[in-house]
Amino acid sequence: MPKFTLSVNGETRTVDVRDAQEPLLYVLRNALGLTGAKFGCGLGQCGACTVIVDGEPVRSCLVPVATMAGRQVTTIEGLGTPEKPHPLQAAFVAEQAAQCGYCVTGMVMTGAALLARRPAITREEAQQALAGNLCRCGAHERILRAMLRASRKVAA
Amino acid sequence: MTRRVSLPRREFLQAGGALVVGFTLPASACAQRQSGAERPASGRAGANEVDGFVAVNADGSVTIYSGKVDLGQGLRIAIPQMAAEELGIGVERIVLVEGDTALTPDQGATAGSSGIMRGGVQIRQAAATAREAMIGMVAARASKPAAEFDTVDGEVRPKAGGAGIRFGDLVGTRRFDINVDPKAKLRDPASYTVVGKPLARPDLPGKVAGRHVYVHDFRIDGMLHGRVVRPPAVGAKLVAFDEASIAAIPGARVVRINDFLGVVAASEWDAVSAAKLLKSRWSESTPLIGTSAVRGWLRAGPFAADETLVQKGDAAAALAGVTKISAEFYWPMQSHGSMGPSCAVADVRDGKATVWSASQATHRFRETIARALALPKDAVRVIYLDGSGCYGMNGHDDAAADAALLSKAVGRPVRVQWSREDEHGWDPKGPPQLLALEGALGDNGKINAWRTQMWIPKATASLPNMPLLALDAAGIVQTPGITTGLISQNGDPPYAVPHQEVIVHWLPDAPLRPSNFRAPGKVANCFAVESFTDMLAVAARRDPVEFRLQGLSDPRGSEVIRRAAALLGWGPRPASAPKASGRGFAYMHYKHNESYVAMAMEVDVNRVTGVIRVRRVACAHDCGLVINPDALAAQIEGNILQTLSRTLFEEVAFDRSRVTSVDWASYPILTFPDAPEILIDIVSRPKEPPLGAGEASATPVPAALANAIFDAVGIRLTTAPFTRARVRAALG
């Protein structure tokens, strides 16, 4: 079985996969037990599986694990914890910016990548950045507020 | 967002928004649920017993057992708030166990906005009974009247002061062994310290950090991953399959039970790959009518029955020989569209079954699974774990049946997660609705006559469970029929109309398997009734807000209407010709006896592209006693945004064989750039009973939008969704 060595949340992880085309998402959720990234569509349309690879938000349901060798993968688990949240995670909690919460880790990863690049954002910029992240419960308003709250904190 | 709540938000906003919650989802409860451990000391008690809902633990904490579950709507904080208030204990010392058939009483499905209104109220009464019992124990010991004691901070204390006795020391882990007393006195709302506070939801820190365990994330030892191969057409029969076609995937195997075809494998990707690789041949099947035929199909019948639901005065006579206004409204079939596809884990072995499911109704579903597996009910346990949102019966029960059949076949626990194509293609759909309305004004400019006719599918009476795909395919007998929710309500106007009737033409079936979808039927009914009210207001040359107020005698209704108008800054309509932006209004008294909602909306319409941009939505909401105003506001926001999505974008497409809108490109929903500003005004009425809020504020959305579009550009949209093409066509 092909073996791949990945850097996930700053740790080197080696995984055996039968199929080098296995998407990163399945490796994260099963072999590595990192279930924060969710399967939503497997088509790159909804953003629930978003992780950060070398600073960019990436749809982990689409990228084969084989292409991840030597790259820096950050998942929601590497961004922060309930006890020590990333400023954006803290902002999501402060704004109570989730209902079912299934899509929310993908939102946070997309948002965190944006804020890392561009700390001071407007509501419209947040709307555009999250245009490819779908939410069915209708938490959009709160998520945008959380983005702006974190932006104020990160940019300050 | 602006939010006006008649309670201070200081608690919520203090600490710079850190909003640290005093407790997280208790690890003990999770461990108990996941290990299958039995309930300590008490065992499961019935819904008429205090022990069914309340258990005092030795450490003085209290476990609340709730048959209603948190689907994302915040019951995980609201129910502990209600229980804590009555018990006299900090909410952080309540452990909540939800929807586990071995542990929690059957409180019915978490549906129909009943979580607080019925489930929470039941638990509140049990908690009040428990409080009286504990006070009674202490009073008896002290030979003093019970009235001299109260419960505070987890202790029974003399009101006059002095040492108290901790719940844990008083009750230990013993049962109460008393029935819930419907007369147990509830605390005076004026004294509330927990209910009415915008406390943070305990599960959000874990959800936002990716640590919360959804059913999708749940794993048990020895578990295999399964996938079901759905047929290429509804009703197709499996002719043949070739197991050799998946030989390249080590350990993958095929399970076939009649037309039920599935694969299992040790790894999830192997299961996905095997399902894709497996060669199968199916019979031709074209049982469907196709999207474009639905409207005609509804009108044509044959009908199971015609029924008059409302008859006041003589609508037929009052509509004869006068200038009538009439319109026909159509609401399409829609998908629940949960972000994550349906998923479940089942372990069916040794004459027992355990199912981990996002079911809205674990107790009801237990009976279904028991029948399907030919097991006694007591041998089956269904345990709720969070799914990906729930707005009615989506595929969660189907996925659980898939997993149960596969697990039974292979003798190992099996996890099944649907694909996106499965979810969009096979989740049960919100049924289509057609309404024709006729009305006439009286000489006084008020509505004198009104007739609503509906053409809608009729739900099967006493259906034990929506027929499930896996059981159907496997040839396992289940009661045939359809479920829709109560889709004929609110077809009559909420205003004083002397002559009115509502007639339903019931269809015996639906074009695709239907189920209840948020505010069943009432989204479309309010669309029709409140659009039509607007048409009558225009005919009467009256301001739509004033026209509505004039027809209402219920002061709670009038109050939300006035507040929503004020919130948006509604003024008398400008008399100018149609412009590019407009304002619309709609009102709903949910089921005529639940929550009151009024909504005002402001939109821009681009005449060239047909794009509708909703700028602002203002909602005034009265659901009586408010348990948690922030969780309530979240529900209102969600109702507004989700229903805007349904109104603007959503219609399931299908041909003669199958659903063809099977992803987010062919079934688009509202995205962030579409999200309007939302203004909410919550009317808090602490002395009124708490009513449901999970649905009511969804219902006025389409009419408020249609009325705003009419105000903006003079077109009356009566068919949802309001796609660009439809807007352009209407504009000519």
Q: Give yes or no: residues B226 and B192 share one domain.
A: no
Distances from the Cα of A80 to the Cαs of A88, A105, A121, in angstroms? 9, 11, 21
Note the pLDDT of residue B172: 86
Same domain as B241, residue B120: no
* Domain with B246 in it: 215-284+338-426
Cβ neighbours for B373, distance < 8 A, ≥ 6 positions apart: B348, B353, B380, B404, B408
Residue A36 to residue B273, Cβ atoms within 8 A: no
Assess contact for B417 and B399: CB atoms under 8 A: yes
Please check whether residues B418 and B447 belong to one and the same domain: no
For B532-571, the DSSP string reads HHHHHHHHTT--HHHHHHHH---HHHHHHHHHHHHHHT--
For residues B466 and B513, the answer to whether their CB atoms sit within 8 Å is yes
For residue B215, the Cα-to-chain-centroid distance in whole angstroms is 18
For residues A45 and A109, membership in a common domain is answered with no
Q: Using CB atoms, pick whichever of B203, B213, B638 lies closest to residue A137.
A: B638
Q: Are residues B666 and B698 in the same domain?
A: yes
- pLDDT at residue number B578: 55
Out of A35, A48, A108, whose CB is closest to B217?
A: A35
Cα gap B618→B4, rounded to integer Å: 11
When divided into structural domains, chain B yields a total of 3
State whether A97 and A134 are in the same domain: yes
pLDDT value of residue B39: 53
Q: pLDDT tens digit string along A71-87?
A: 999 999 999 999 999 99
User: Are B78 and B627 contacting, i.e. CB atoms less than 8 angstroms apart?
Assistant: yes
List the strands of the sheet with A3-8, edge to edge. A11-16, A3-8, A72-74, A50-53, A56-59
Residue B528 lies in a domain: yes
Residues from chain B that touch A96, judged by Cβ atoms under 8 A, are 19, 200-201, 204, 630-631, 634
Point out the domain boundary residue: B426, B458, B483. Answer: B426
Q: CB of B266 within 8 Å of any CB in chain A?
A: no
Where a domain ends, among A79, A105, A128?
A79
Considering the domain architecture, whether residues A75 and A110 belong to the same structural domain is answered as no
Averaged pLDDT, groups of 10, chain A, 156 residues long: 93 95 98 98 98 97 95 97 97 98 98 96 97 98 98 84
Based on the domain organization, do B204 and B229 belong to the same domain? no
Question: Which of A17, A82, A132 has the CB atom closest to B206's CB atom?
Answer: A82
Same domain, yes or no: B456 and B503: yes
Which residues in chain A are contacts of B665 at CB distance < 8 A? 45
pLDDT at B500: 98
Last residue of a domain, one of A79, A102, A132: A79
Domain presence at residue B223: yes
Range of A147's domain?
Answer: 87-155
Contact status of A96 with chain B (Cβ, < 8 Å):
yes
pLDDT attached to residue A26: 98
Query: Are residues B488 and B599 both part of a single domain?
Result: yes
- Along chain B (732 residues), what's the average pLDDT of each consecutive run of 10 residues? 35 28 33 42 74 95 96 96 98 97 95 91 97 98 97 97 95 93 97 98 98 97 98 98 97 98 98 98 98 98 97 98 96 98 98 97 96 97 97 96 98 98 98 98 96 98 95 97 97 98 98 98 98 97 96 97 97 63 97 97 96 98 98 98 98 98 98 97 97 97 98 96 97 94
**Do B30 and B139 belong together in one domain?**
yes
Which two structure tokens, joined as six digits, stand for B122?
A: 């039941």
Q: A69 with A98, same domain?
A: no
Q: Find which of A81, A100, A130 to mutate to test the B interface (most B CBs within 10 Å of its CB).
A: A100
Q: Where residue B252 sits, what CATH number does that domain have?
A: 3.30.365.10
Give the pairing type, strands B499-507 and B447-457: parallel
Helix B701-713 to helix B629-649 angle (10° resolution) is 60
Task: List the CATH number of the domain containing A11.
Answer: 3.10.20.30
**A69 and A12 assigned to the same domain:** yes
What DSSP string describes B291-340?
GGGHHHHHHH---SEEEEEEEES-HHHHHTTS--EEEEEEE--B----SS
Q: How far is B279 from chain A (nearest CA, A)?
A: 19
Residues with Cβ within 8 Å of residue B400, at least 6 apart in sequence: B344, B346, B355, B357, B359, B365, B369, B382
Rounded alpha-carbon distances, angstroms, from residue B119 to B65, B79, B185, B196: 11, 8, 18, 17
Structure tokens at A4: 């791949």
Boundary residue ending a domain (B193, B208, B223): B208
Are B498 and B390 part of one and the same domain? no
Residues of A in contact with B678 (CB under 8 A): 141
CATH number, domain with residue A145: 1.10.150.120
Are A91 and A70 part of one and the same domain?
Answer: no
Residues B558 and B476 in one domain: yes
- B699 inside domain: yes
* Co-location of A94 and A136 in the same domain: yes
The answer on A143 and A94 residing in a single domain is: yes
Does any CB of chain B come closer than 8 Å to the CB of residue A34?
A: yes
- In a shared domain, residues A135 and A92: yes
Going across the sheet that includes B596-605, the strands are: B2-5, B677-683, B612-622, B596-605, B581-589
**In a shared domain, residues A113 and A50:** no
B616 contact A CB<8A: no
Shared domain check, A99 and A71: no
- Whether residue B437 lies inside any domain: the answer is yes
Domain co-membership, B52 together with B89: yes
A20 touches B: beta carbon within 8 Å: no
pLDDT of residue B113: 85
Judge whether B304 lies within some domain.
no
Q: Please give the backbone phi and psi of residue B400, each rounded to the nearest 5 degrees, phi first.
A: -65, -40
Q: Is residue B324 part of a domain?
A: no
Between strands A72-74 and A3-8, the pairing is parallel
The answer to whether residues B659 and B605 belong to one domain is: yes
Query: CA–CA separation, B721 vs B530, rounded Å?
Result: 17
Q: Which of B372, B404, B426 is the last residue of a domain?
A: B426
Our count of domains for chain A comes to 2
Mutation target vs B (from A89, A102, A148; most B CBs, 10 A cutoff): A102
- Give the DSSP letter string of B470-518: HHHHHT----------STTTT-S-SS--SEEEEEEEEESS-SS-B--BS
Indicate the residue among A51, A79, A107 that finishes a domain: A79
ipTM above 0.90, yes or no: yes
A40 chain-B contacts, CB cut-off 8 A: 339-341, 388, 420
| B706 is a domain residue | yes
**B237 CB burial (10 A radius; 0-12, 13-18, 19+):** middle
As a whole number of angstroms, the distance between CA B393 and CA B514 comes to 9
Give pLDDT, residue B18: 27
